[in-house]
Amino acid sequence: MSHIDFIITQSSIDNGRLYFESAHTAFFPADTLGGRGANEHAAGTIGIEVAGEIAETDIRISSSSRISPRKSFKTWLRSIGAFDGAKGRLHKTSDRHYKLEYLG
């Protein structure tokens, strides 16, 4: 799999979080999956390219149904004019490098 699509929700916009279905955990290296709490960071990180910059983050297991990068993407969501129900795509460009795309 070279990419995953996701829906941008109002919660994403308000909190700067990108949410992916938990079925996509295998899309990320196993050592980058951390817990929900502030001190439950994973051992490894990935880089997510957005607007020409790389955001280093681990992936939080938010609930039984969703996961999300721990890093906030509020600035990016605001800059693209994201709205509730819009779509995004996360491309996997190498083992630990990803790139965000806004589909609208």
Which residues, 6 or more positions from 20, have their beta carbon under 8 angstroms from its beta carbon? Answer: 4, 6, 27, 66, 67, 68, 90
Tokens of 9: 């929700």
CB-facing half-sphere around the CA of 37: CA atoms within 13 A: 2
pTM score above 0.85: yes
- Residues 26, 13: contact at Cβ < 8 Å? no
pLDDT > 80? residue 38: no
Question: Would you state the pLDDT for residue 100?
Answer: 97
Q: What are the residue ranges spanned by the domains of the chain?
A: 3-102
Question: Would you state the pLDDT for residue 45?
Answer: 97
CATH architecture type of domain 3-102: Beta Barrel (2.40)
The Cα-based distances of 101 to 28, 41, 80 in angstroms read: 17, 25, 10
